[in-house]
Amino acid sequence: MRVISGEAGSLPLRVPRSLTRPTTDRVREAVFSSLGDFVVDAMVLDLFAGSGALGIEALSRGAREATFVEENREAVEVIRSNLAATRLENGIVRQQKVASFLTSTPSSGYSLLFADPPYAKTPEELTSLEEFLSLERLSDCLSQDGIFVLESYSGVSLPELRQWKILREKTYGNTRVSYLQRI
């Protein structure tokens, strides 16, 4: 795994051993190609950050700042290591549960939000994804014209999105990438 482009382009990224599904280079390249210049000077929030690859890619391509939220201690250390290795300075790493972070974060501060929650394949996991997507604080933290990039399992339909409109979707194998905006 590596940074695709920008200031830290082609530098390798570490992946936590406990992380079984990092966003592939191919998917990241497609996502950032779709976002284009929207990334430049963006305030980025990377939820369920894992290795930090999405937020680090954004920083490498000119984002002003990226906040990484991850509850797994090993993953948090990997994100810190990846930020140090890429020498990207505007990364803030928070070790906490996503719901807890969202209740403590100011509203409307982020223009670009990435979320790669655990893939929902069972009814319980789908309920968890639906609860996450319906969190009022999730939509509140994104600016009105901001973009929410959601990764999910392509084998099941997304739950009803009451707070979001789908701008576009693309599937890459088992991964569905949805580009959302606040309603």
Which of 15-29, 32-46, 63-77, 109-123 is predicted with the least confidence, judged by mean pLDDT? 15-29
51-84 per-position pLDDT tens digit: 999 999 999 999 999 999 999 999 999 999 999 9
Phi-psi region of 173 (alpha: psi -120 to 50; beta: other; left: phi over 0): left
Supply the DSSP string of 4-36, one letter for each residue.
-SSTTTT-B----TT---PPPHHHHHHHHHHHG
Q: Give the predicted TM-score (pTM) of the model.
A: 0.95
Domains of the chain are 26-182 (3.40.50.150)
Place of tokens 């933290």: 141
82-120 per-position pLDDT tens digit: 999 999 999 999 999 999 999 988 777 899 999 999 889
